[in-house]
Amino acid sequence: MSGIRPTGYLHLGNYFGALRNYVRMQDEYDCYFMVADLHSLTTHPDTKELRNHVRHVMAENIACGLDPDRVALYCQSHVPETAELYLFLNMMAYMGELEKTTTFKEKARQQPENINAGLLTYPVLQAADIVLHRATLVPVGKDQEQHLEMARNFVKRFNHRYGEVFPEPRAFNYGEELVKVPSLDGAGKMSKSENQFATLYLTDDDDTIRSKIKKAKTDSGPTEPSQPKPDYISGLFGLMKLVSAEDTIRKFEEDYDRCVIRYGDMKKQLGEDMVRFIAPIREKTEAITHDEKYLKEVMEKGASKARSSAQGTMRLVKEAIGLNYF
């Protein structure tokens, strides 16, 4: 189970941190993936763009390879059981730990005028999303590790108090390390809502991709053989590893180690490889967003699968708590 917030169009970080694994998992597991519209309200109370973003992110999920016939692909607000479970899990979460969460502190700093309770209990809502399907594997990027640990704590407390209802969920990435796709300015990660010029979107046109990569931060190059790379340079190599051929990567690694690397050439190559990767996803997304009838059907089918799983879990939850009076 996993989800992505419709706070903007998807980017390369969403793809490699999350979607790539979703697509692989659909062949092996019973999967639930959703567009997390309720989560987006904690930071984006203005809903003018919401409808457009929800449809777009849904289409991007499909364009990246998710098959709505094999997985439950749904919109979070179409499954009201989420809110009900969120209420019960709120009783398992302590103020102190919520206030200490890294993402809460970051967001509180970013929006001091709107430090709402939803922002504080974001990890609880996320835990509800996951355990609503009694899911165990959660394909997410590295930035979500702490939330998953909190979800396990809420689940352990629930199980301890009311009996074993939920398995403990964990972050999942096919055995490799969790991925963090760095932003092109070398400061932090690519993100939907921040640093848009340093983020590569799956809808960027070819020239935008080339120009963003051309402007990525570099320097005058290494001065000693095999010297450690600064963050922004290892970020560029990191991006190359995601989309370029192995011999291309090897060539630039060797050039770097021998202090003859030309960052202009490296960025040009990376730009072309990135265009080749992103263009087909962009074109597919465009075609899907124009097919309203299809998108509506996908959402309805997804909601119905997700609700039937959610209702089963809620029966167990209420029985365990003792809310069945007759």
CB nearer ligand ADP, residue 85 or residue 171 = 171
Q: Residue 137: how many CA atoms within 13 Å on its side-chain side?
A: 16
- 103 touches 279 (CB < 8 A): no
Minimum distance of ligand ADP from residue 36's CB (angstroms): 7
Minimum distance of ligand ADP from residue 112's CB (angstroms): 19
Helices H, strands E: what count in the chain?
Answer: 15, 5
Neighbours of 231 (CB within 10 A): 12
Using CB under 6 A, list all residues that contact ligand ADP.
Answer: 4-5, 7, 13-14, 16-18, 140-141, 143-144, 179-181, 189-193
100, 107, 217, 241: the catalytic one is 107
CB nearer ligand ADP, residue 10 or residue 310 = 10
- 144 touches 172 (CB < 8 A): no
Active site residue 107: yes
Expressed in percent and rounded to 5, the helix, strand and coil fractions of the chain are 60, 5, 35
Q: What are the residues whose beta carbons fall under 8 Å from the beta carbon of 310, sequence distance 6 or more? A: 79, 81, 82, 85, 132, 133
Minimum distance of ligand ADP from residue 264's CB (angstroms): 25
Active site residue 301: no
CA distance 210 to 274: 8
CB nearer ligand ADP, residue 173 or residue 313 = 173
Q: Which residues pair with 171 in a beta bridge?
A: 138
Minimum distance of ligand ADP from residue 140's CB (angstroms): 4
Minimum distance of ligand ADP from residue 16's CB (angstroms): 6
CB nearer ligand ADP, residue 10 or residue 85 = 10
Structure tokens at 289: 């967003």
CA distance 155 to 118: 19
Which residue's CB atom is positioned nearest to ligand ADP? 17
142, 192, 215, 229: the catalytic one is 192
Minimum distance of ligand ADP from residue 251's CB (angstroms): 25
- 154 touches 306 (CB < 8 A): no
Active site residue 192: yes
Q: What are the residues whose beta carbons fall under 8 Å from the beta carbon of 188, sequence distance 6 or more? A: 182, 194, 195
100, 189, 267, 293: the catalytic one is 189
**Pairing of β 32-35 and β 170-172:** unpaired
CB nearer ligand ADP, residue 191 or residue 313 = 191
CA distance 152 to 314: 18
CB nearer ligand ADP, residue 192 or residue 210 = 192
Task: Catalogue the active-site residues.
Answer: 107, 189, 192
